[in-house]
Structure 1
Amino acid sequence: MNNMISYHNATTALSISEKVGQFFMPAAFINDTEEEIKRIEKSILEDGIGGLCFFHSRASAATNFEGQKKIVYNENSFQTLKKLIQRYQNIAKYPLLISIDAEWGLAMRIENTPQYPYAITLGALQHNEDLIFTLGKQIANDCKAAGIHWNLAPVVDINNNANNPVIGYRSFGENKFLATLKAAAFIKGTEIEGVLTCIKHFPGHGDTAVDSHLGLPLIDKSKEELIKNELFPFQQLIHEGVDSIMAGHLSIPALADGDTIPSSLSKKMLKDLLRGEMKFKGVVISDALNMHAVAMNYPTKGALEWVAFDAGNDVLCFSENVTAGVQTILQNATAVQIEESFKRIWALKEKAIKKNSEKIELSDAAPLNALIAKESLTLYKGGLADFKSQKFIGIALGATKHTFFNSIAKELNFDTIESIQDASQVSAYDHVLIALYPPKAKPANLFDLTEEDIALIQTLMATKNVILYLFGNPYVLNHISIEKAKAVIIAYQNFEVFQENAAQHFLGKHTAEGKIPVAIKNKL
């Protein structure tokens, strides 16, 4: 990789076309074919792109909207990624800025890499921002081990809509103060390792019921309401000097003088509000420009890229029409526009891209995850009392690993059932311990729980003494009537260390110190 040159030298060394090329950060895919890799190399050489945003494969969620392509598991993805980054860097005239979404670690995109808890789990921590700082630090270490400079995280959306199809578990919660505090800890941990961060999705994607990958969400709130809540974390973190902000694809008429244009394409929102009123001086990066919320409306190649740049985005993420986009910007932009964005981007690159021959190993997630598991565990309702001394049966719903029951079984004898057809199978028991493992973290299709499983839980709660441990998204509780449950405990994650900690809690050896960070509408 070539060394970075200073902005002073770059502003004269790069042609205007090369400067515009720096605005583009198309997608790169870890599991591409050689033919696809060569197409990206061609763009690096001919378009002079400034960076790449890595995804797992062309069948991954960000591109495979309808889920028709099968995602192939590749246990060597991490090594493939490292080699690809080096290959692309070696041919670039100027160093590429490499980014990835690693909100809960590289595992968000790459198999066999450290996985950390979702933001909603971190939201349950009470006065333990040091754990989030360490989490940000370890994720940043893993980014550096791969050759990544820019983690497009954290999410600072205030999630106050239980039906949000795309944010939900990715948000720290619905309390703006705690979400800001936790995001700041994540950012500081990342920065100490020399990795860039990006807060998203401006002006706030929390209160939506539409996935902007598939359509354009409409947020019908007043500007006063938005300033008070959704915009609060962005403003506070701007004051703290955050590196970059991602512009979401959201229709918010109150912030655009009644216009329904997506926020990512709105001068009112990016130039007047974000840069003008909120005084943000850093880099604005668009959310992926291939997302249906914006891509469907600009069939002419290069038109979307120009509109996004003209609106105030410095970096055009996931542009699918780089060559046409460069030409369209060159035809329409002023020299001042181009230089202002180029200066911001080059400053970001100078900050992040350092020559480093040191070999960096991936972090060990288990010790930190064990601490987070202990501090996030939430007693949502009731208490355990003397339940474990009674004759009880354990029922695991949706589990692939039974660490929770296996850990309890080291000290207590009890029967377990993995699959149950009806409540009569447990007729001999008055006490039932349910371990619920929702297959998905997203709310679509009831988190992929079956209606039969939910009906069974309801029946058991109505007829038995039930303790429920939930190893998944707490919003699941909106779909279960838990009024008659003896106790409900939220573990948030199904990781083995979270299951082990929950077992110790059941055995009376750990307390539950966490607090649920979102509102559940079910009445207790």
Structure 2
Amino acid sequence: MLRKALVASGLILSLQLTLSAQQRDAFIPFINAQHRWVDSVFNTLSARDKVAQLFMVRAHSDLGQRYIDSVAGVIQREQLGGIVLFQGGPVRHAQVINRYQRLSKVPLLVAFDGEWGLGMRLADSTISFPYQMALGAIQNEALIYQMGLEVARDFKRLGMNVNFAPVVDINNNPRNPVINFRSFGEDKQNVTRKGLAYMRGMMDGGLLTTLKHFPGHGDTDVDSHYDLPRLTFTAGRLDSLEMYPFRELIKAGAPGVMVAHMNIPSLDKTPNLPSSLSHHIITNVLKKRFGFQGLTFTDAMDMRGVVKHFRNGEADVRAIIAGNDVLELSENSGRAINLVLQAIKQGRLSQQDIDTRVKKILAAKYWLGLDNQQQRTVNLTNLYRDINRPQTEALNQRLADASVTLLKSDSLIKALDYTKRTAVICIGLTQISEFQNMLGWRFDNNMFYVLSPQATADDVAAVANELSSYSQVIVALHDNRIRPRSTLNYNGTVRLFINELANMNSVFCLFANPYSLAGLPGIEQAKTILVCYQNDDIMQRAAAKVILKRLNPTGRLPVTVNSFFRYGDGK
């Protein structure tokens, strides 16, 4: 069934290029089978060591030596099952991974949130692929499969073996503060296709991946990092929409699922109970009804969404009782292990249940090749070069090119004359952009203008008063914040100027979240709008290629913005 899905989505050509990856044993049957190495390791573990395999601790390499040493102490003392890496530098990460692996009697799972690759946490000296919202616009899933392979190659080179990705939440709430641009979009079929491509690429590259955030975090306006979201949808709605990508990708062999912290009365009526602690949601729905036999991970157990109502380690115990295999970032792993051992004595948990989960975790480590010392030791030689490969940078640009979405007509682009006086206005920045530089060499008679998000009326008037002398106007709207939010941080004066520009036959390029179009009244009057999803150089180069008539935009809008800009719009 998986092969049929891959053929249908155009991925078979890429799969043929990865014969060795295809020969890897299928993950789900593998971790549920008996293995001599697993048994040999399991038989060396004490009761406490077994429980410790269910926990992963937070690790950074940018918080100083004292912090690094403190995590080393936890790993050596508690002998936990894995670590989750956050911010730092590639070489420093590799060094701490090597150190922590040496301290562990059992090889560690080394996880990372790499939804858009290493750049999600390691912004310096690593490549960031486009956010999933941009990928949702791409019509060629083979590119996303290839991205998955490259992400896996980066992870393995850095000594990491678990990627908490892809996000398969369906983002149908523009106000969503935590998923939003991290989602492939609002259409369940599109999200499933893109999630399949990304998941298979990473798995074929040798990574353990997780679908997140079950049963679906896309339609909430509460961030579970800070509070407990409450979903009031019917079980039927959740089954047919939010849970659809999870169900289909589980059929396709998903190795891991991460469970969100959300209260969902239609699935479990227990007051204030997060989904991550619900036996019905995890064991009855995810494992029994959906037939999931891989590894179930909790979202971070130090988030307010889970510890607000279950404090002092009770959340950890309940998460294991509910059916989770791996707990990510307990507030206090030593305390949690003691409480789980106590729960076994009290009969709240059975030792057999713990043993079954531990063997699955060990089998996952065996599948990853962690029985081999070389597989868990990072070679520091040429590390920067190896994770900044020219072919990866080229793929990154191809992904950006394929995501550009043309709304309305391309008539203004076709009519552009490189010899005429052309104004190129960038709004939302404070200096000349890559986009302007790309256009500058081709338009013979151009002038660049830059307006900050909070430009004054005098600043705007100075630009507006000069536009009458130009035959052509190209406008770029930028969101210069770290993450593209649903609304732009432009003041009223700037927004009014955008409205005026939309009525001047200007070509618009949006380097921002597509939802932000809804906060620009009058933008729908523009004849040509290129949606480029985020403000970085690869997107600006892609847009410039379209303006210079070197690229035909093929992306389609992955979300509905308003009545003017709807899902699927694009040339």
> What TM-score does the superposition give when structure 2 sets the normalisation length?
0.83
Unaligned runs of 5+ in 2: 1-34, 344-348, 566-571
SS in 2 for 1:468: strand
Partner of 1:64 in structure 2?
none
Query: Are residues 1:47 and 2:78 paired?
Result: yes
Question: What residue number does 2:498 align with?
Answer: 457
Offset of 1:520 from its aligned partner? 0.9
| 1:7 is the counterpart of 2:35 | no
Deviates more, 1:380-389 or 1:288-297: 380-389
The 5-angstrom pairing of residues 442-453 of structure 1 reads 442=483, 446-453=487-494
**1:436 — aligned with what?**
477
- Pairing partner for 1:317 from 328, 342, 345: 328
Q: Which residue of 2 aligns with 1:148?
A: 160
In the other structure, the counterpart of 1:256 is: 268
| Structure 2 counterpart of 1:331, from 318, 331, 342 | 342
Instruction: Tell me whether 1:471 sits opposite 2:511 in the alignment.
Output: yes
What is the Cα deviation at residue 498 of structure 1? 2.3
Q: Which amino acid aligns with 2:63?
A: D
Q: Does 1:403 align with 2:434?
A: yes
- Contact (CA 8 Å) 1:149, 1:353: kept in 2 or not? no
Counterparts of 2:513 and 2:308, CA distance in 1? 32
- Check conservation: 2:484, 2:512, Cα contact below 8 A: no
Per the alignment, residue 340 of structure 1 pairs with 356
Q: 2:104 aligns with which of 92, 114, 126?
A: 92
| Partner amino acid, structure 2, of 1:326 | I
Q: 1:427 aligns with which of 439, 442, 465?
A: 465
2:41–2:106: 8 Å Cα contact kept in structure 1? no
User: Deviation of residue 166 (structure 1)?
Assistant: 1.0
How far apart in 1 are the matches of 2:112 and 2:333?
19
Q: Structure 2: how far apart are the matches of 1:112 and 1:448?
A: 28
1:276 alignment counterpart: 288
User: Partner residue of 2:179?
Assistant: 167
Q: How far 1:144 moved relative to its partner? A: 0.8
The answer as to whether partners of 2:488 and 2:519 remain within 8 angstroms in 1 is: no
- In 2: Cα distance, 1:366 partner to 1:381 partner: 30
CA separation of 1:50/1:452 partners in 2, compared to 1, >3 Å: closer, same or farther? farther
Q: 1:416/1:98 Cα in 2 relative to 1: closer, same or farther (>3 Å)?
A: same
Mapping of residues 11-410 of structure 1, within 5 Å: 11-56=42-87, 77-110=89-122, 111-126=124-139, 128-257=140-269, 259-300=271-312, 302-332=313-343, 333-354=349-370, 355=372, 356=374, 361-364=386-389, 365-385=392-412, 387-389=415-417, 391-399=421-429, 402-410=433-441
User: In 1, Cα distance between the equivalents of 2:432 and 2:332?
Assistant: 44
In the alignment, the residues of structure 2 paired with residue 441 and residue 490 of structure 1 have an alpha-carbon distance, to the nearest angstrom, of: 18
Structure 2 CA distance, aligned partners of 1:173 and 1:182? 10
Deviations 1:295-341 (A, max 9, x none): 233332x2221111111211110112111100000010321221122
Query: Cα 1:451–1:28, aligned 2, differ >3 Å: closer, same or farther?
Result: farther
Return the alpha-carbon distance in structure 2 between the equivalents of residues 319 and 411 of structure 1.
Answer: 56
CA distance, structure 2, for counterparts of residue 450 and residue 340 of structure 1: 58
Q: Which residue of 1 is the match for residue 568 of structure 2?
A: none
Residue 225 of structure 1 aligns to a residue whose secondary structure is helix
TM-score, normalising length from structure 1?
Answer: 0.91
Structure 1 unaligned blocks of 5 or more: 58-76
CA contact 2:61–2:87 (8 Å) conserved in 1? yes
2:447 alignment partner in structure 1: 415
Task: Note closer, same or farther for the CA distance 1:460–1:483 as it changes in structure 2 (3 Å cut).
Answer: same
Distance in 2 (CA, whole Å) between partners of 1:217 and 1:169 is 19
**What secondary structure, in the 3-state scheme, does the structure 2 residue paired with 1:489 have?**
strand
Relative to 1, partners in 2 of residues 1:418 and 1:123: Cα closer, same or farther, differing over 3 Å? same
**Which residue is 1:495 aligned to?**
536
**Is the Cα–Cα contact under 8 Å of residues 477 and 522 in structure 1 kept in the other structure?**
no
Instruction: Tell me, in whole angstroms, the C-alpha distance in 2 between the residues paired with 1:9 and 1:425.
Output: 73
Q: 1:145 deviation in Å?
A: 1.2
Amino acid at match of 1:373: A
The CA deviation at 1:142 is: 0.7
The total of aligned residue pairs comes to 499
Task: Check conservation: 1:212, 1:291, Cα contact below 8 A.
Answer: yes
Q: Give the conservation status (yes or no) of the 8 Å contact 2:138–2:403.
A: yes
> 1: CA distance between counterparts of 2:40 and 2:237?
45
**Counterpart for residue 73 of structure 1:** none
Q: Which residue is equivalent to 2:26?
A: none
Structure 2 equivalent of residue 66 of structure 1: none
Aligned to 1:71: none
Distance in 1 between residues matched to 2:93 and 2:36, nearest whole Å: 26
Maintained 8 Å contact 2:484/2:534: no
Are the aligned partners of 1:392 and 1:429 in contact in 2 as well (CA < 8 Å)? no
In structure 2, the residue corresponding to 1:116 is in which secondary structure?
Answer: coil
Give the Cα separation in 2 of the matches to 1:219 and 1:186.
27
2:526 aligned residue: 485
Q: Which one of the candidate residues 505, 520, 524 is aligned to 2:561?
A: 520
Residue 3 (structure 2) aligns with: none
2: CA distance between counterparts of 1:398 and 1:198? 36
After TM superposition, the structure 1 stretch with the greater mean CA deviation from structure 2, 86-95 or 394-403, is 394-403
Displacement of 1:448 in angstroms is: 3.6
SS at match of 1:337: helix
SS at match of 1:304: helix
Q: Indicate how the Cα distance of structure 1 residues 441 and 451 shifts in structure 2: closer, same or farther if over 3 A, else same.
A: farther
* Structure 2 CA distance for aligned equivalents of residues 306 and 11 of structure 1: 22
Identity %: 34
How far apart in 2 are the matches of 1:199 and 1:243? 8
Per-residue deviation, 1:506: 1.0
CA distance in 2, matches of 1:377, 1:427: 31
Aligned residue for 2:524, secondary structure, equals: coil
Deviation at 1:445, TM superposition (A): 8.3
Cα deviation for residue 272 of structure 1 reads 1.1
Distance in 2 (alpha carbons) for counterparts of 1:11 and 1:135: 36
What is the DSSP-based 3-state SS (H/G/I as helix, E as strand, rest coil) of the residue aligned with 2:111?
A: strand
1:42-66 CA deviation, whole Å, 9 max, x = no partner?
A: 2112211010001116xxxxxxxxx
1:7 and 1:375, CA in 2 relative to 1: closer, same or farther beyond 3 A?
Answer: same
